């Protein structure tokens, strides 16, 4: 339960599977809008159902309904998953309702994720040049705006497009899409790989094989002539198989599958690391992935080729400052976001209570870290982590601890951000998330493991909210770590 990032990876894969969303970051340029005119119109209600499987065993189902309206379409995606996370059985349900225009461009949406722990809800409406967003959590509503360089397409349109348009086979086509699970505008790529026959039960079906790419990973789908999904295979062993409504919804005899990604995604080094909390440095060799896709060099990390050196920070109290920090250079790390509601009265009042008038940023950060470590129960949680929900439930794992700490720190006037990578626990490296706070320089802080600064086995691969954290999927099953040298103990 100390390494929720592994669980978070399962949930991220689940979002991708349910929303048919595959992304590939293209930061250097936005793709030109692709004209969907000519896609065959849907003139009557269309409904599809799929069984969801994990490594061959059924764990849930999903459905999509498309209903024509006067101009455009209404779509409804629903799913249900039975999960067993670290011995905790949970049922996770999602619902995504959308309206699009006749060219499948998004007009508005409403997204719900309900688990035994939490209820997350987001809705949005496209306006000229922006997407108006509202996040409802813990009985509170917060509003945000997402700037758009062009209207986003609906990812559900890509399969009908692939089936009905003369897209060049073998060529990667890029689309601007919106992901309601991460509240981010992203890029989806699609490649038509050819035609083949697939077996569904006792039937052989002709199909078109397409591939959608997702930040270095890919999902393969087989669709029929109308763009309807016959089968889909996703990273981590997930699959969707077309079924009747009755077959899909039937979970009799099935059981919640233990998604033990904690052990399955663990990275075991060539040698154990003794007393990691007492090391002042660590040298590692990284392999198995494209290092250029991650910013591994900076702060306490130094990268030379495939060799990474991590040095534990020495906190200099002379570099601290009086809160709240007024320096405009760090404004972006003090602002509220859709998931860090640092401007909410409950967050602000709690932050003031915790620091109790302490003006030194370093001491205030310690007080907030201690409070989060002490007050938030450490349990696996299926949610879209956001500060208000965590404050209400008082439970969660590394994502929940980190998002609440960051919100409280920002409310107190201390710049804070989320780091994502791996940490060494027991005998392996596990996927994990922690905080960094600005104290004259960025200092690592782990409110789950109660470390400030964090030990040198915290290997940072990226930073940012959930839309950036999905990049970590590139490492799953690929990352290899070799221990080269351990530093002296304190």
pLDDT tens across 351-409, in order? 999 999 999 999 999 999 999 999 998 876 666 778 988 898 888 888 889 999 999 99
Residues of the chain above pLDDT 90, percent? 35
pLDDT of residue 404: 96
pLDDT of residue 151: 73
- For the domain covering 266-486, report its CATH number: 3.10.620.30
Mean pLDDT over the full length of the chain: 80
| Mean pLDDT of all residues in 6-25 | 31
Please name which of 112, 123, 120, 156 lies closest in space to residue 22, comparing C-alpha atoms.
156
Name the burial class of residue 304, with classes exposed (0-12), middle (13-18) and buried (19+) by CB atoms within 10 angstroms of its CB: exposed
Higher local confidence (pLDDT), 328 or 179: 328
pLDDT tens column, 213-255: 766 667 888 988 777 889 988 766 778 899 999 999 987 655 5
| Alpha carbons 370 and 360: distance in angstroms, whole number | 16
pLDDT(439) > 80? yes
pLDDT tens column, 252-300: 655 554 445 456 678 999 999 999 999 999 999 999 988 988 989 999 9
Q: Rounded to whole angstroms, what are the CA distances from 444 to 342, 369, 490?
A: 20, 12, 17
334 Cβ neighbours under 8 A, 6+ residues apart? 324, 325, 342, 410, 413, 414, 415
Domain ranges of the chain: 4-257, 266-486
| Mean pLDDT of all residues in 147-156 | 72
390 Cβ neighbours under 8 A, 6+ residues apart? 376, 396, 400, 401, 403, 404
What pTM was estimated for this model as a whole?
A: 0.76
- In a 3-state reduction of DSSP, which class is residue 125? strand
pLDDT(19) > 70? no
pLDDT tens column, 298-316: 999 999 999 999 999 999 9
pLDDT of residue 33: 36
């Amino acid at each position: 339960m100390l390494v929720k990032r592994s669980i978070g990876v399962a949930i991220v894969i689940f979002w991708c599977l349910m929303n048919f969303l595959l992304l590939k970051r293209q930061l250097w340029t936005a793709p030109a809008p692709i004209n969907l005119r000519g896609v065959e119109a849907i003139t009557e209600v269309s409904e599809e159902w799929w069984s969801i499987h994990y490594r061959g065993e059924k764990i849930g189902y999903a459905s999509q309904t498309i209903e024509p309206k006067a101009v455009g379409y209404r779509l409804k995606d629903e799913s249900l998953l039975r999960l067993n996370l670290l011995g905790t059985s949970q049922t996770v349900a999602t619902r995504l309702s959308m309206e699009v225009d006749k060219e499948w461009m998004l007009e508005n949406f409403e997204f719900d994720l309900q688990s035994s722990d939490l209820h997350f809800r987001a809705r949005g409406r496209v306006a000229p040049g922006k997407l108006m967003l509202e996040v409802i959590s813990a009985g509170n509503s917060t509003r945000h705006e997402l700037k758009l360089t062009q209207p986003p397409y609906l990812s559900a349109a890509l399969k009908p497009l692939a089936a009905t348009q003369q897209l060049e086979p073998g060529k990667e086509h890029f689309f601007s899409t919106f992901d309601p699970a991460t509240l981010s505008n992203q890029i989806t790529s699609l490649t038509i790989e050819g035609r083949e026959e697939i077996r569904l039960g006792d039937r052989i079906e002709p199909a078109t094989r397409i591939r959608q790419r997702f930040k270095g990973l890919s999902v393969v789908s087989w669709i029929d002539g109308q763009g309807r999904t016959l089968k889909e295979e996703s990273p981590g062993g997930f699959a969707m198989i077309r079924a009747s409504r009755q077959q899909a919804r039937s979970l009799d005899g099935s059981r919640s599958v233990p998604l033990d990604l904690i052990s399955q995604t663990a990275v075991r080094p060539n040698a154990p690391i003794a007393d990691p909390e007492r090391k002042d440095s660590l040298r590692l060799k990284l392999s198995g992935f494209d290092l250029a896709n991650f910013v591994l060099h900076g702060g306490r990390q130094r990268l030379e080729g495939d060799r990474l050196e991590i040095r534990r920070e020495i906190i200099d109290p002379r570099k601290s400052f009086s809160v709240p920090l007024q320096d405009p250079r760090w404004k972006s790390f003090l602002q509220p976001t859709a998931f860090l509601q640092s401007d909410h009265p409950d967050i602000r009042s709690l932050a003031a209570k915790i620091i109790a008038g302490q003006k030194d940023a370093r001491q205030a950060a310690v007080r907030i870290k201690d409070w989060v470590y002490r007050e938030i129960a450490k349990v696996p949680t299926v949610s879209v982590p956001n500060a208000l929900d965590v404050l209400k439930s008082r439970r969660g794992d590394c994502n929940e601890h980190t998002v609440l700490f960051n919100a409280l720190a920002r409310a107190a006037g201390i710049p804070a951000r989320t780091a994502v990578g791996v940490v060494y626990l027991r005998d392996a490296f596990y996927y994990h998330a922690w905080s960094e706070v600005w104290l004259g320089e960025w200092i690592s802080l782990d409110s789950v493991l109660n470390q400030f600064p964090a030990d040198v086995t915290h290997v940072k691969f990226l930073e940012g909210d959930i839309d950036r954290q999905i990049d970590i999927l590139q490492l799953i099953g690929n990352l290899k770590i070799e221990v080269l040298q351990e530093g002296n103990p304190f």
